Structure 1
Amino acid sequence: MGQVTFVDETTMGERETGPRLDVAEERLTVRELIRRRMRREEDRRLALKAFTANGLIVLVGDRQVTDLDEEVDLTADTEVTFLRLIPLAGG
C-alpha cells in the first residue's frame, strides 16, 4: 500500500498541501484520482469539467497527465498536484 499526497496550486503561486490518501492500487486513472480527492459530488463534477476545459492541470510527480482515463503509476509516496489556472484580468 502506498500513500498519495494531494497538493492544490494556482498560477498565482498559492500552494496548499491537501489530504493524504492511502491507496492499495499500484495504478489509478486520473478520473479516479479526482474522484477520491474531491469529497463532494458537485466538486468532482466541477473538477472534471475544469480538467476537460483546460482550467485544471494534473501533475503526477513531475509529469503532466492529459487524459482522464490515463492510468498513472503510484509509488509509495506519490505527489499529485492539481494546478488551477487563473484567467488573466480582462482576457
Structure 2
Amino acid sequence: MPLLTILDETASGSIINRLELEISQETLTVREMITRRVLGEVAAYNERQNGVFQGLVQPTESERALNGYKLRPTKRIDGEQQQYRALEAFQQNGFFVLVNDRQAESLDDTVWLGDGATVSFVKLTPLVGG
C-alpha cells in the first residue's frame, strides 16, 4: 500500500511533526484525508497511552504541553469527537491544508495523492491581544 507523507508546519514553514499514512486510492476529499489522519492519531495514542497526545487538534480535556497535549489523568481519546473538532477547525481557519503545494479550499475538494504526493497541515497561531 502506498504511503502518503504528511507534514505539520508552522506559518513560518518550520516542520513540527512528520507522519506517514497508508492510502489505498489515489484521490480523496480533504474531509476524508483529515478524518483518516485524526482517527489514526487517536488510535495510536489510545494504544500506547503515554499521557502526551501529538495530534492535529487539542482534545477537550487536555492542556498544552511541549510537543503535544497532556491529558490528566491519562485516558482514552474519543476519535469521533476529535474528527469533528478537526473538521470544524479547518472550516474556521484553525489550520489550512496544502496538497502538492496547492491550498485546499473546502472539505469537499478532491485531491490527487498518487506517488510522490505531499500534504502539509499548516497550523495557525492566534495573535495575542488581537
Higher relative contact order (CA 8 A, sep 6+): 1
Rounded to whole Å, the distance in 2 between the matches of 1:13 and 1:62 is 12
Q: Which runs of 5+ in 2 are unaligned?
A: 40-78
Q: What one-letter code is carried by the residue in structure 2 that aligns with 1:75? A: G
Runs of 4+ in 1 over 4 A off after TM superposition: none
- Residue 89 (1) aligns with residue 128 (2): yes
**TM-align CA RMSD:** 1.6
Secondary structure of the residue aligned to 1:77 is coil
- Residue 50 (1) aligns with residue 72 (2): no
Q: Which residue of 2 aligns with 1:2?
A: 2
| Deviation, structure 1 residue 61 | 1.5
Rounded to whole Å, the distance in 2 between the matches of 1:50 and 1:35 is 12
Rounded to whole Å, the distance in 1 between the matches of 2:128 and 2:80 is 30
Q: Which residue of 1 aligns with 2:63?
A: none
User: For the Cα contact (< 8 Å) 2:10–2:16, is it kept in 1?
Assistant: no
Q: How does 1:1-91 map to 2 (within 5 A)?
A: 1-11=1-11, 14-39=14-39, 40-91=79-130
After superposition, give the CA deviation of every residue in 1:50-77 in whole Å (9 maximum; x if it has no partner): 1111111000010000110111011213
Q: What is the percentage of aligned positions where both structures have the same residue?
A: 44
Secondary structure of the residue aligned to 2:117 is strand
- Flag the structure with higher strand content: 1
Secondary structure of the residue aligned to 1:44 is helix
Rounded to whole Å, the distance in 2 between the matches of 1:62 and 1:13 is 12
TM (normalized to structure 2)? 0.63
Rounded to whole Å, the distance in 1 between the matches of 2:117 and 2:34 is 14
TM (normalized to structure 1)? 0.87
Instruction: Say how many residue pairs are matched.
Output: 91
Distance 1:13 1:72, change over 3 A: closer
